[in-house]
């Protein structure tokens, strides 16, 4: 299957700092990328959908000014958690979709711990 990478895989940071997470599709062009968040023992919750070259569409309850998403190319999307707080500690997972159809390929996830 298609390969999606995320970087970094782990982040530990102090409260108030900003953290950038990269999501790359390695062997296909991703017209759409999705950002999810998963808290312990809970399901994946979609945060936002981004299409290359346009603004991201955020789900209800997700602050767009706090979670900045950029999808500047067909192989790269970034999520920046601005002024991170301990409650932002979570498992952030991106997925990418190459074209038609519903198949999404997931990245390995980024664990964020805000102290």
Per-residue HEC secondary structure of the chain comes to CCCEEEECCEEEECCCCCEEEEEEECCCCCCEEEEEEECCCCCCEEEEEEECCCCCEECCCCCCCCEEEEEEECCEEEEEECCCCHHHCEEEEEEEECCCCCCCEECCCEEEEEC
Work out whether 54 is an interface residue with other proteins (CB under 8 A). Answer: no
The smaller minimum CB distance to other proteins, of residues 82 and 98, is found at 98
**Minimum distance between the CB of residue 73 and other proteins, rounded to whole angstroms?**
20
**Minimum distance between the CB of residue 16 and other proteins, rounded to whole angstroms?**
26
CA distance 104 to 96: 5
- Contact window for other proteins (CB under 8 A) among 19-27, 63-71, 76-84, 100-108: 100-108
Residues in 57-96 that interact with other proteins by CB under 8 A: 91, 93, 95
- Contact window for other proteins (CB under 8 A) among 20-28, 62-70, 78-86, 98-106: 98-106
Q: What does the binding site for other proteins look like in residue numbers (CB under 8 A)?
A: 1, 32, 34, 41-46, 49, 91, 93, 95, 102-104, 106-109, 111
């Amino acid at each position: 299957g298609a390969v999606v990478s995320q970087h970094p895989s782990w982040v530990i940071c102090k409260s108030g700092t900003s953290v950038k997470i990269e999501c790359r599709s390695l062997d296909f062009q991703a017209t759409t990328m999705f950002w999810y968040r998963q808290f312990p023992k809970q399901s994946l919750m979609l945060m936002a959908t981004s299409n290359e070259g346009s603004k991201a569409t955020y789900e209800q309850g997700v602050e767009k000014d706090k979670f900045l998403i950029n999808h500047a190319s067909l192989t790269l999307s970034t999520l920046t958690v601005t002024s991170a707080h301990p409650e932002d500690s979570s498992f952030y997972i991106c997925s990418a979709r190459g074209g038609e159809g519903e198949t999404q390929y997931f990245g390995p996830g980024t664990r964020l711990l805000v102290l």
